Amino acid sequence: MLLRRMAAALISAVAFAGVLVAGSAPASAAPRVLYYDASQAQEFVAVVNQGAQIWNSRATNVRLEPVTAGRTPNIRVYADNGWPRAQTTSLGNGRVWMGRQAVDQGYHPPRIAAHELGHILGLPDRRTGLCADLMSGSSAPISCTNSYPNARELAQVEANFRSSAVARVAPQTYVWQPALAGAAG
């Protein structure tokens, strides 16, 4: 009888501990997957892939993946001779141009790619001039090679994609081009 009570107590304790362990970690939702098509990014394909991997290494609520056959991409990436820019159509959807003008001036291509993809993920330009701020874009020194979002930028992207009811973001066009000397803003 004593042995049965001890066994029952042990089973209860293990079951209770199992409930505590199982209940202590919230279930994580699968990240929202955004597909990008870099087939028209010409010499920037590898850099665009690197920009996507930068976001994938940090964000848990969203993943950027190359588009697969039969899928429509959320993001289309192009190369041209102008300034890099992004045009969003909604959160997680839009177009990115990897403009050669910024690269020719010495800006770091992986930073440009991660920055422009940041717009697609819902981040605005923040022209702080700080290299630590990915979304400071061309306001940071040309020598800046930081291609990773800071904690505030990452937190905003995580919040944008936290639930299946994704936040509404108005269509917007962002241009990497630095402010003109003497211009306000």
**Active-site residue numbers?**
116
Chain position carrying tokens 């993946």: 65
Are residues 135 and 127 in contact, defined by beta-carbon separation less than 8 angstroms? Answer: no
Query: Please, which residues have CB within 8 angstroms of residue 142's CB and are 6 or more apart in sequence?
Result: 105, 106, 107
E-strand stretches of 32-178: 32-40, 62-66, 75-80, 85-90, 93-99, 172-175
